[in-house]
Structure 1
Amino acid sequence: MIRIYERSLCQSYASAYRQGIEIASTGTEEEALSIVEALTDDDYQCFALLENGTVIDTRGRFPGCIEVAR
């Protein structure tokens, strides 16, 4: 399961993940990126979080960006 989170521009990925502002979930990376792109604007950004802690957003992939609790 790939979860999509919302964060403010001044908020880190990790703090957004800890706050748990989950706005969607999906099963594929392609669909996750599509959701992120659709929901990202100038004031807020969204990112997808893979189960291994990799973040995907409109700028790219960031492996191991977040330590995911198992």
Structure 2
Amino acid sequence: MVDGGAVLRALRIGAGLTIDELAARSGVSPRTIGGIERGRVRRPHQGTIGALAGGLGLDPGGRERLRA
């Protein structure tokens, strides 16, 4: 992910979701989401990225942005 999770944070906030809400939608723990956003998890698994993209309801372009 580019910029230590800044893209994830921007997408989450743009969707009007809290970390806990995204966690409930994606099945990814709030701790992991927070870690990605803060740059503590620098290379999340592709499965995690896919789950987050699904939880955010991203279209293919948004999914690519999240994976970049």
Q: More strand by proportion, 1 or 2?
A: 1
Q: More helix by proportion, 1 or 2?
A: 2
Same fold by TM-score greater than 0.5: no
Rg comparison, structure with higher value: 1
TM-score w.r.t. length of structure 1: 0.27
Structure number with the bigger relative contact order (C-alpha 8 A, sep ≥ 6) is 2
